[in-house]
Amino acid sequence: MNRIGKISILFVLVFSILVSALSSSAYAITGNYREDGDRHPYVCLVGFYDENYEWLWRGSGSLISPTIVLTAGHATEGAKYATIWIDEEIPYDPENPDPEGYPNYGKGAADGITYTHPDFAQYVDNNGLVGFITNDVGIVELTSPVALDEYGELANIGTVETLRVGADVTFVGYGVQYQVTPKIGGPYYAWTGTRARFYATANLLSNKHAISSTFMKCSANAAKGKGGTAFGDSGGPVLLGTTDTILAVTSFGPDANCAAVGYYARVDTQAVSDWIASFLS
């Protein structure tokens, strides 16, 4: 994985697993990642704030309508407000560490209120590994519309279950790109990179596994020209092949090196699809 962000309580830093560094977690596109250009203009960087509008953490999301942003539940959980940025690269002051650097981004594309799926839950066992998590989906409802030529499209219910193992998927997000040496301060501070939108291709490894049938497990390494996600990518979309169809959102990974595999919360289940639809209607 390559690129930093928060996005998580779910990742003890994203990946580390389920929460930690909230103010730092998440994941980022890694491995054979590419600059996104205008391929996925609806994917945005999302900054989260508490009820006093104090900075908390950041992640990624997808505009699925002019006023609705789809992201991860572990990103919206504990937050009250959010701001999104939709430029391919977001200027920031690299001399100021997160979160102090975020206010220097300037005005975001739009502000909004956060909502977390009512059945979202996450637990961490004594080893810091994900023991259980459900409905890792969140929404940011913007106070003013963002006009785009295209928006992300939600997959039909049950789409993931029809996919073969090895099916191509695309990750998009504003996460970190590389690890620094020496690694000081834990996983969050070990990753860095520009605040920019990247994408990478990967493969579906399983849509039915021990954690939950409501998650996709996908490859997350650079083998055979593929890539993965890392800190900062949490909440970003997992797209079907080269389409704009959103199958899931980036949720968590099993290690702080953002390698091996990643887990992604499906949005094509009945419970999640119905909840998202309640905002679109």
pLDDT digits (tens, 9 = 90+) for 183-203: 555 555 555 566 788 888 888
Q: What is the mean pLDDT of residues 168-178?
A: 80
- pLDDT at residue 180, as a whole number: 59
Tokens 């989906």 map to which residue? 137
Does residue 239 lie in a domain region?
yes
pLDDT of residue 214: 84
Tally of domains in the chain: 1
Q: Would residue 76 count as lying in a domain?
A: yes
- When comparing pLDDT for 257 and 136, which is higher? 136
Q: What is the reported pLDDT for 201? A: 84
pLDDT, average across residues 198-227: 71
Q: Is there a domain that residue 1 lies in?
A: no
- Residue 84 contacts residue 41 (beta carbons within 8 Å): no
pLDDT of residue 8: 31
Across the range 1-18, mean pLDDT stands at: 31
Mean local confidence (pLDDT), 229-240: 83
Q: What is the mean pLDDT of residues 83-103?
A: 65
Cβ–Cβ under 8 Å, residues 220 and 36: no
Identify the weakest region by mean pLDDT among 29-43, 74-88, 125-139, 219-233.
Answer: 219-233
- The fraction of the chain above a pLDDT of 70, given in percent, is 60
Domain that holds residue 217: 30-280
Q: What is the average per-residue pLDDT within 24-29?
A: 36
Compute the mean pLDDT over every residue in the chain, rounded to the nearest whole number: 74
Q: Pseudo-torsion of CA 33, 168, 243, 273, nearest 10°?
A: -110
Which pLDDT value is given to residue 32?
47
**Per-residue pLDDT at 256:** 53
Residues 6+ apart with CB under 8 A from 222: 30, 31, 32, 228
Q: Which two tokens stand for residue 68?
A: 């609705």
Domain membership of residue 15 (yes or no) is no
User: What is the structure's pLDDT at 157?
Assistant: 96
- Which residue would you say has higher pLDDT here, 116 or 53? 116
Does 43 score more than 90 pLDDT? yes
202 occurs within a structural domain: yes
Q: What integer pLDDT is reported at residue 207 of this predicted model?
A: 66
Check which CATH number belongs to the domain holding 48 and give it: 2.40.10.120
Q: Determine the Cα–Cα distance for residues 72 and 114; give it in Å rounded to an integer.
A: 11
180 in a structural domain: yes
In a domain, 23, yes or no: no
Gap between the Cα atoms of 209 and 234, Å rounded? 21
The tokens of 142 are what?
A: 């913007």
With cut-offs at 50, 70 and 90, classify the pLDDT of residue 219: confident
Contacts of 75 by beta carbon, 8 Å cutoff, 6+ apart: 6, 7, 8, 26, 46, 48, 57, 59, 61, 138, 234, 235
For 124-128, 171-175, 233-237, which range has the lowest pLDDT when averaged over its residues? 124-128
Please report which confidence band the pLDDT of residue 177 belongs to, taking 50, 70 and 90 as the band edges: low
**What percent of the chain has pLDDT above 90?**
37
